[in-house]
Amino acid sequence: MIQLTRVLVACDFSETSRSALLYGTRIARQFGARLYVLHVADVIATSAAQFHPEGPSDPEAKAIELATGQLRDLLAITPLWPSEIHVRVARI
């Protein structure tokens, strides 16, 4: 029998990814594994004023803020444990 210690679920906040998250949660619970949820935000490095006419801002920070909020909303309606969110940013 296999022993899983980590389960990774990719999430784009669609209905399909919500289903995948529920499935991943069940697998993680069954094996006592840690659940990781991955969301990739595509941030284009351009002038902030082009996308934010209300004033200058950091597009990357805005993308992180929006994705974190969406993830918190998703976790609020999904029976996950623990519901602690850690955001890590990587640049390619």
DSSP reduced 3-state for 43 = coil
Pick the range with the lowest mean pLDDT from 12-16, 32-36, 37-41.
37-41
User: pLDDT, tens digit, for every residue of 40-88?
Assistant: 876 655 455 555 555 556 777 777 788 888 887 877 776 665 556 666 6
What is d(CA 35, CA 42) in angstroms, rounded to the nearest whole number?
Answer: 23
Dihedral of CA 90/75/16/62: which sign?
Answer: negative
Q: b/e map of 17-33 (b: 16 or more CB within 10 Å)?
A: bbebbeebbeebeeeee
- Is pTM beyond 0.85? Reply is no
Query: How many CB atoms are closer than 10 A to CB 45?
Result: 8
